[in-house]
Amino acid sequence: MLDNTTKEIENIIDFNNKVSNGIKQEVLPTSAQSQQDKEKLMSVMGHLRDVKMIKDRTLNEIEPMKQTIMLLKKHQIKMEEDYLVKLENSKTALEDVSERALGTVREAILPLQTQEAGNINDKLRKFNIKVHDYRVEFQSKCPYHISNSSPEIIKTAYESIDLYYSKTCELELEASDLGNL
């Protein structure tokens, strides 16, 4: 129980440090035009998402961890550190980090986030047009039925199928990248 509780406390501390350092990245509110600026923005947005997802669940686990530590002390389990103090400090740090992340930082990047969402929507519209055009081309040029069966015609049909397979794989990769955005 002690190992599990101490590991959970360490995880909270590590999370606090990671998010605290991650949201310190300066994302200028004027633009996120360069790839590096976009990566910073995405990184900060990822930290905001993590805080939003983890904060409440973690804060709800603090009281049971306190009870576990008290139980261990009651049964005179030797502890090298005062884990109650460490846990309380972790709770305070998590609350501070989440307040900063979901308050100040979120407000600061909101215009960039909105701009980037618009950019992603534009990419999605262009991708949908590209897929539609590809589908039309595929349906009109792919060899569905071959009337003659000479080796040259069959070879050409297989080359066409290989070409469309490659294009389909490229579109799938692009769709996956857009899905990640």
Q: Where are the domains of the chain?
A: 2-123
Local structure of 23: helix, strand or coil:
coil
Contact 171, 134 (CB under 8 A): yes
33: confidence class by pLDDT, cuts 50, 70, 90: low
Query: How confident is residue 28, by pLDDT bands cut at 50, 70 and 90?
Result: low
CA distances from 39 to 46, 51, 106, 117, 128 (A): 10, 18, 16, 14, 24
Task: Locate 177 and state its tokens.
Answer: 């990248």
Q: How far is CA 109 from CA 25, 48, 149, 171, 181, in A?
A: 11, 11, 62, 31, 16
More confident site: 59 or 148:
59
pTM above 0.75, yes or no: no
Which of 16-30, 71-85, 90-104, 124-138: highest mean pLDDT? 124-138
Residue 147's φ and ψ, nearest 5 degrees, are: -80, -35
pLDDT band at 29 (very low <50, low <70, confident <90, very high): low
